[in-house]
Amino acid sequence: MLDRRNSVLLSVLLWLCASLVSSFVEELDDSFRETRGDDDIWLIKFYAPWCSFCKQLDPVWHQIGSELKSLGSPVNVGKSDATANTGLAEEFRVRGYPAIIMWKKNLKYVYSGKRTKEEIMEFTHRVSGPLVRSLNSLQLFQHAMSRHDVMFVYVGATSQLKGNFSAAAEHLIVHTNFFSAARDVLPKVIALTSLPAVVLFKDGTYFTYSEERDGDLRSWINRERFPNFSKIDSYTLYAMGETGKLVSLVLVDEKNMCEKSVRYKVLMEKVASDHRDTFSRNFYFGFMEENDYINGLIMMDVIVPSFVVVNLSNDGYFLPQGTVDTERQLFDFLDGIRDGTIQCQGGNGVVQRGRRLIYDTKLLLTSLFDQAPLLGCFLLSFPFAIATVFCYLCCKARPTSSEDEDEDAPQRCKKLTNKKSD
C-alpha cells in the first residue's frame, strides 16, 4: 500500500515538474502576429511534428526557456508548428526545420549555429541585449577578451564611422560581438594613430580598420568575423561560405592523430599565420574532422590527412595537383588558386547535380542495406513490383488482334447483307 502511494506521489511530482517546465515555453499560433507587443523579444522555434531533429531539440528548448526565466531575462521563449500555423511561418520565411529565430522590436534575427544549449544561449544573450555594448573599464575589456575569440570595438566619440559601425552591428550581431570604448579603457600597448577607429581583436593580436585598404566597413567585418585558423564544423563551414571567401581545409582524424596529420595541421596553421597579408582577403583556414560533407562534395572518400579548398558559393573545390609536404608547396597551391592557374572542379551545374544525386542515392542505399538488409531489399524491389503489375494489367486490358477481328466480323457480314439486298 505504501509503495503504491509513493508511486502515485512520484507520478504527480513528475507531472508537476513537466507542467512547470512546459510553462516556460509558449505554444504560438497565427494570432501571435496581432497579440505581440512592439517592444517584446521572442526566441521562437519553428518545427514540424514529423521532424526528428525538432524532437531532439525539444528538451534543449525547454531547458533554455527555464534558464532564461530563472535569470529574469526579457526574452520570451516560444515554439510554433509551422505546418499548422502557415501564416506565421510565412511571415518569418521558414524554409526548413527546426528554424530558430529571434524577433526583437520588429526585426528578425535567424540563428544558424549548432543546436546546443550553450550556443543558442550565447546567441540569445548577444542579440537580445544592446547591439553595441559599452566597455567602461579595463577590467570589463579584459573580461570581454577572455570570453570572445573575435570582437569588434569602436573607439572614439560620435561620428559617421560610429553610425556605420552601429548599422553593421544591426545586421551582423547574429554572427559576432560589437563593443564601444573610450581610448583610456584600452591597454596602452594598443597603438591607434587616429580617432575615431574600429579595432578588431582576434588571434591574440589586433587590426585597425582602414576604409582605403579594407573597403566598406560592413563587408570588412563580415569577412573578418572568423579566427584566422580554427576548428571548422559543418555549421561554421556553411557560414564561411556566405562571406564569399574560399575555405582552405586540412582534413584530419583527431581521435587517431598520426604524425602526418599533426604535420599537415601545423603546416596549414603556419601558412595562415605567416602569410596572412597575402591570403586573408581570399581564404579562411582551418582543420576539419567531419569529412561527410567533403566526401559528398567531391563524390569520393577523401584520404585523411589531406588538403582541400572549397568554394561554398558554387559547390566547387580545389585539390593539390601534386604532393604538398612543405610550406612552399602549400603556398604555391593556394597562390595557384588565387591567380587562376589551378582550375575549380565540381560546381552546381545540371550535370554535376545529377551526378551528386546518383552518388547520394548510392550512399543511402548502401547504408540502408548495411543496417537493414531486408528493408533495403523490400524498398528496392517494391517499385519494380508495382511497375511489373502495372505493365501486366495494361497488357491484359488491351484487346488482341484476333479479338479485334471477331468484333469486326459481324459488322462486315452486316455490310455484305445490305449490299445483297440492294
Active site residues: 51, 54
**Residue 416 grid coordinates:** 455484305
- Residue 154: which H helix or E strand, with range? strand 150-155
362-388 in b/e form (b: 16+ CB < 10 A) is: eeeeeeeeeeeeeebeeeeeeeeeeee
Amino acid at 114: K
Beta-bridge partner residues of 100: 45, 111
**Which of 283, 318, 279 minimizes the C-alpha distance to 302?**
318
163: its cell numbers:
553610425
Cα 235 to Cα 241: distance, rounded to the nearest angstrom: 10
CA-CA distance, 345 to 395, in Å (whole number)?
48
Residue 215 Ramachandran class (φ > 0 left, ψ -120 to 50 alpha, else beta):
left
Cα distances (Å, whole numbers) of residue 255 to 13, 142, 265, 289: 43, 34, 14, 9
CA 353 to chain centre: 20
Q: Looking up cell 597575402, which residue turns up?
A: 278
Strands 41-47 and 99-104: antiparallel
Give how far Cα 192 sits from Cα of 188, 374, 375, 410, 412, Å.
10, 69, 67, 107, 107
Which residue type does 55 have?
K
Answer whether 297's CB lies under 8 Å from 318's CB: no
Distances (CA, A) of 415 to 1, 401, 405, 411, 421: 97, 21, 15, 6, 10
Cβ proximity of 47 and 100 under 8 Å = no
Contact assessment for residue 186 and residue 137, using Cβ atoms and an 8 Å cutoff = no
Phi, psi of 115 (to 5 degrees): -90, 55
